[in-house]
Amino acid sequence: MGRIRRYLIAGLLIWIPIGITIVVFRVVLGQMNKSLGLLPREHVPAFVFEIPYLGVILTFLLLLVTGLLTANIFGKTLVGWSEKLLQRIPLIRAVYSASKNFAEVVFSPSGDSFKQVLLIEYPRKGVWSLAFMTSNQLGEVQHRTGKDMICTFVPTTPNPTSGFIIMVPKEDAIALDMPVEEALKMIISLGVVVPDWEPGKPLPEVAATPDNT
């Protein structure tokens, strides 16, 4: 029975990650495939809607064309007009602005957000949590506290898409060599998967706060 139990556990360790990966990709591809709804059914042959994952291809093409259009002066002008219109509509203005700022912060290749893994004492002194630095330009928070503050995101386990925003003094955060991808693996695995680390490496520094004076 002990040998059968070991075999079952070994099989689960193989198939559970594969199954979760398949489910996640199916959900993502299913959402992307919904872009078929953009096609006018009265002008498109019925068999087109039966082509597997055609919507995924259309989604990629839509993103590519949008990027190409916004890369020129005409596209930038059109986007500017659209944003000004959205900024004048109550409620929509708040949602759009927050979403736009988040997308720019996360996907900007030149930004520092989600590029550094930190250790901070949370939820109390002596208890440490993994966190991602999201911003080191805190404006009023910086001024009111009189300290060099940074904003961090502390994800929950095992779902790292939810969590808490914690603002701490820069000197209270410890920068880690751990890559963001490895930190996410550790969080999702409930701390079971611990990234390899070589002792003796120099301690990295927390990203500097720009001097806006």
Last residue of a domain, one of 47, 69, 91: 69
Q: What is the pLDDT of residues 138-164, one digit of tens each?
A: 889 988 999 999 999 999 887 787 889
Q: Which residues contact 83 (CB under 8 A, 6 or more apart)?
A: 96, 100
Q: What is the mean pLDDT of residues 73-96?
A: 83
Tally of domains in the chain: 2
Is residue 77, in this structure, part of any structural domain at all? no
Q: What is the pLDDT of residues 23-39, one digit of tens each?
A: 878 888 888 877 777 77
**Confidence category of residue 213, pLDDT binned at 50, 70, 90:** very low
Q: Which residue has the tokens 């193989």?
A: 14
- The answer to whether residues 182 and 121 belong to one domain is yes
Is residue 99, in this structure, part of any structural domain at all? no
User: Cis ω on the peptide bond leading into residue 123 (within 30° of 0)?
Assistant: yes
Is residue 130, in this structure, part of any structural domain at all? yes
Is residue 146, in this structure, part of any structural domain at all? yes
Q: Considering the chain, what percentage of its residues have pLDDT values greater than 90?
A: 20
Is residue 161, in this structure, part of any structural domain at all? yes
- The answer to whether residues 122 and 184 belong to one domain is yes
Compute the half-sphere exposure of residue 177: CA atoms within 13 Å on the CB side of its CA.
Answer: 10
Q: What is the pLDDT of residues 89-115, one digit of tens each?
A: 888 888 887 777 667 666 665 555 677
DSSP H helical segments within the chain, as ranges? 2-33, 54-69, 73-87, 92-107, 140-145, 180-188
- Its domain, for residue 160, covers 117-188
Question: Hey, what are 122's tokens?
Answer: 């949370």
pTM summary value:
0.57
